């Protein structure tokens, strides 16, 4: 392990905000977390686990300990006729993992290409895009429990995966350090096309039976056209969750807004795009001081260069209030506010 005191987190949050923490610990091997927990009593001490910081908004210096995994091994555990089980450590870059699967022709996470962050964060958020979610392929999550000082393994069912959520984001929040995950990937082609403009892009390229490379390349291209790179413009991707509301409420809104996009989740509820709501209240490309919504995708809040975390949060809250006033829908943040 490596320990740094009074450490700047600017490189570890994609908004590029220059806040500090009291101590920053690089965990080089999963087993080290046991000693770190004993040394710092993490069940009592204020702590934060950060991968690449692609899903957080810091609003001030963090008075506590930040833990950062750098162990990143990947191994194939079992090979069956139609599937392959792999285990991936928490410090592995998520996009590198997707590229590995694509290169091996293993289906199940190809639509999750270009999502920033490390593997350890994926089950916490139940990351998803273009019709795929990590819960669809995950088998187990291995983690260290600070309260019990034990390494544990949860099967998929015990993780309580939900839309952009899991037990690790709810009941076990700030209590666990994820060390690795197991994914069951398919050898058989399983392209998911009915989301966004994937079909249209494939059609433009005259691709009828897309390969796994076709799928990942197409989605990477779509994402690049819509989302700014954090290396160029500070942002944390989608700042808000797409709200899930009663079907009856959506139908009421549709009377006044016939162009409302609706995606069925079950008989009673539908999901609607937060980006559509934000655009309708006039906030697409809107700027306030050092913060703005991205002109191509209003779901993304961007740091124009000198924003503080407080400014970004204030702007986000302004959007939440306005959407509530106009549509009586309460937007929830996908980004974790620290």
Q: What are the structure tokens assigned to 269, written together?
A: 């509820």
Of 138, 311, 135, 315, which Cα lies nearest the Cα of 240?
315
Element (H, E) at 6: strand 2-8
**269-271/287-288 β-pairing:** unpaired
Residue 28 annotated to the active site: no
Quote the CA–CA distance of 271 and 236 in Å, as a whole number: 22
Residue 310 annotated to the active site: no
Q: What are the structure tokens assigned to 146, written together?
A: 């600070």
Quote the CA–CA distance of 287 and 275 in Å, as a whole number: 16
Q: How many Cβ atoms from other residues are within 10 Å of residue 208's Cβ?
A: 8
Quote the CA–CA distance of 238 and 242 in Å, as a whole number: 9
Question: Taking each helix axis from N to C terminus, what angle separates 212-226 and 94-103, rounded to the nearest 10 degrees?
Answer: 150
List phi, psi (to 5°) of 39.
-70, -40
Output the CA torsion sign for 136, 142, 146, 149. positive
Output the CA torsion sign for 247, 252, 253, 256. positive
Contact 183, 138 (CB under 8 A): yes
Residue 164 annotated to the active site: yes
List phi, psi (to 5°) of 256.
-95, -25
Which of 52, 54, 89, 164 is an active site residue? 164
Quote the CA–CA distance of 140 and 158 in Å, as a whole number: 9
Quote the CA–CA distance of 149 and 167 in Å, as a whole number: 18
Contact 312, 240 (CB under 8 A): no
Contact 142, 178 (CB under 8 A): yes
Which of 32, 182, 201, 334 is an active site residue? 334
Q: What are the structure tokens assigned to 226, written together?
A: 């819509």
List active site positions. Answer: 164, 238, 334
């Amino acid at each position: 392990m490596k320990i740094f005191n009074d450490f700047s987190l600017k490189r570890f949050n994609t908004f590029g905000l220059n806040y500090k923490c009291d101590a920053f610990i690089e965990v080089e091997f999963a087993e080290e977390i046991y000693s770190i927990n004993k040394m710092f009593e993490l069940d009592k001490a204020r702590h934060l686990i950060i991968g690449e910081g692609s899903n957080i908004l810091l609003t001030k210096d963090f008075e506590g300990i930040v833990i950062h995994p750098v162990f990143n091994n990947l191994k194939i555990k079992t090979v069956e006729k139609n599937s392959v089980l792999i285990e991936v450590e928490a410090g592995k870059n998520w996009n590198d993992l997707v590229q590995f699967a694509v290169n091996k022709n293993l289906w199940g996470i190809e639509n999750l290409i270009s999502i920033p962050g490390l593997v350890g964060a994926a089950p916490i958020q139940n990351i998803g895009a273009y019709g795929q979610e990590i819960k669809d392929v995950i088998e187990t999550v291995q983690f260290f429990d600070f309260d019990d000082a034990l390494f544990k393994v949860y099967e998929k069912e015990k993780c309580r995966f939900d839309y952009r959520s899991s037990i690790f984001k709810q009941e076990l929040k700030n209590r666990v350090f994820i060390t690795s995950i197991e994914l069951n990937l398919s050898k058989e082609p399983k392209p998911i096309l009915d989301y966004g403009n994937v079909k249209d892009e494939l059609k433009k390229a005259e691709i009828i039976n897309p390969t796994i490379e076709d799928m990942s390349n197409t989605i990477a291209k779509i994402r690049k056209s819509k989302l700014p790179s954090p290396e160029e413009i500070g942002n944390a991707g989608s700042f808000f969750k797409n709200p899930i509301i009663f079907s009856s409420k959506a139908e009421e809104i549709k009377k006044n807004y016939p162009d409302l996009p609706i995606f069925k989740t079950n008989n009673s509820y539908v999901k609607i795009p937060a980006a559509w709501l934000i655009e309708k209240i006039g906030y697409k490309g809107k700027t306030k001081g050092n913060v703005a919504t991205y002109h191509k995708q209003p779901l993304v809040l961007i740091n124009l260069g000198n924003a503080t975390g407080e400014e970004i949060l204030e702007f986000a809250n302004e959007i939440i209030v306005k959407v509530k006033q106009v549509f009586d829908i309460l937007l929830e943040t996908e980004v974790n506010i620290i």
